[in-house]
Amino acid sequence: MEIAAKRPAGAPGEVPAIRTLGLTKLYGERRGVFDLDLEVRQGEIFGFLGPNGAGKTVTIRLLLDLIRPQSGRAEILGLDCRRQAVAVHRLVGYLPGELALEPRLTGRQLLTYFANLRGGVEWSFVEDLAGRLELNLEQRFGEYSRGNKQKVGLVQAFMHRPRLLILDEPSGGLDPLHQETVAELVREARDETGSTIFFSSHILSEVQSLCERVGFIREGRLVELAPVHELPGMNTYRVTAELGKPMRPETIASIDGVTKVRVDGTSVSCAVRGDMAPLIEALAPHHPHRLVSEEPDLSEAFLHLYGAAAESESGRSATTNHPARRNYQ
C-alpha cells in the first residue's frame, strides 16, 4: 500500500474538501438549513456540532445529493454535489446516523457487496478493520446489536480509503474501548492516506481530542466556525482550592477574569479566564494546601455559544418572525 505523505491541512492552491455557498433547505419555519456558508480544508479533521434538529444531518444529506436544496450550492473536492454526484460519491466514505441494511445477510456478505460496488478494495484491509472493531462477520445483520451494526457501517465507510469521510455520529452505540478505536481509525485516515474527515458528534470530548476546527450549527444557521482552542470558553479554567484559613468571596470575586466564585468554609471554587497569577497571589495569605486547575473543555464553548444564540433569538423575536432572516453569527 502506498502511504500518502502528511501535509498541512489546506495547503496553498488546494480546493477545499467541502464548500457550501448560501446553501438553503427549508422544512417549515424552524427546520432545515439557512444560507449556509461553510468551508472545510483538505486533510483536516472537522467537527460539526449542534443540538438535535439543528441541521447537521440535513447538511450531510445535501452534500451527498440525497436531498436537493432550494437555493445555494455545495462542492466536494471541487465537484458540484448535484451535477457531479456520481463522481462525488466515488471520493466519499459515508456513515449515516442510522444504517438500514438487508437483515438476512451476514456482515461478510454486506461488506463484500460494498467492496464489489466500489472496486479496488483490499479485502485484507476490510478484515483488519473488522478485527480492530471486534466485529463478527459471520453473523446476520438483523442479529447484530446496535453497536455491531454501527461497526458494519464504519467498515464500509473506511474500506476504500476515501479522500473524504463523512461520519454522522461515528461513536453511536459503541462502548468506550471501541470509541477509542474509531478515534484511532480517524487519525490514521488523516495521517496515513491524507483523508479529510467531517463528522458530527454529541460526544464533546471526542470532538475536542480529534478536531483542529469545529463548526457549531443552531436552528439551521452556523453560529461559530473556529479552531478548537479559539472558541469562546476554551480559555476558561475551573479552579478549586483548600485553604488553611477561611476567606471572604469578595477577596477573589473582584479579580479581573474570575467568575462563579463559591466559598464554603475553607473550600473555594471559581472559574478563571486568562492569567491565574492574580488569583494565586490573592489566595496565598490564606495558606492554600491544595490547588487544582481543570483544563477547559468543549462543553464550555457549547454552552456559551448556544446560550448566547438563545439570548440573541429572544431579543429579536419582537421584531421578526421569519427565521430565514435571523442572523446568529
Q: Which portions of the chain are predicted below pLDDT 50?
A: 1-5, 311, 313-329
What is the grid cell recorded at 155? 467498515
pLDDT of residue 300: 63
Angle at 115 between CA 112 and CA 118, to 5 degrees: 150
Determine the CATH number of domain 18-230.
3.40.50.300
* CB-CB contact of 110 with 96 (8 Å): no
Say how far apart CA 219 and CA 230 lie, in whole Å.
23
3-class DSSP assignment, residue 78: coil
For the chain, residues classed under CATH 3.40.50.300 are 18-230
* CB-CB contact of 266 with 245 (8 Å): yes
Say how far apart CA 304 and CA 51 lie, in whole Å.
13
Determine the CATH number of domain 236-298.
3.30.70
CB atoms within 10 A of CB 216: 26
For the chain, residues classed under CATH 3.30.70 are 236-298
Taking every pair of Cα atoms in the chain, the longest distance, rounded to a whole number of angstroms, is 72
Alpha helices in 133-231 (DSSP H): 146-158, 176-193, 204-210
Residues paired with 216 in a beta bridge: 49, 224
pLDDT of residue 226: 83
Q: What are phi and psi of 201, to 5 degrees?
A: -160, 150
Of 111, 203, 201, 106, which is closest to residue 157 (Cα–Cα)? Answer: 111
pLDDT of residue 207: 82
C-alpha neighbours within 13 Å on the C-beta side of residue 222: 18
pLDDT of residue 323: 33
C-alpha neighbours within 13 Å on the C-beta side of residue 66: 10
Say how far apart CA 205 and CA 297 lie, in whole Å.
7
pTM of the entire structure?
A: 0.75
- Counting residues of the chain whose pLDDT is more than 90, the rounded percentage is 64
Angle at 304 between CA 326 and CA 254, to 5 degrees: 125
pLDDT of residue 239: 93
pLDDT of residue 329: 26
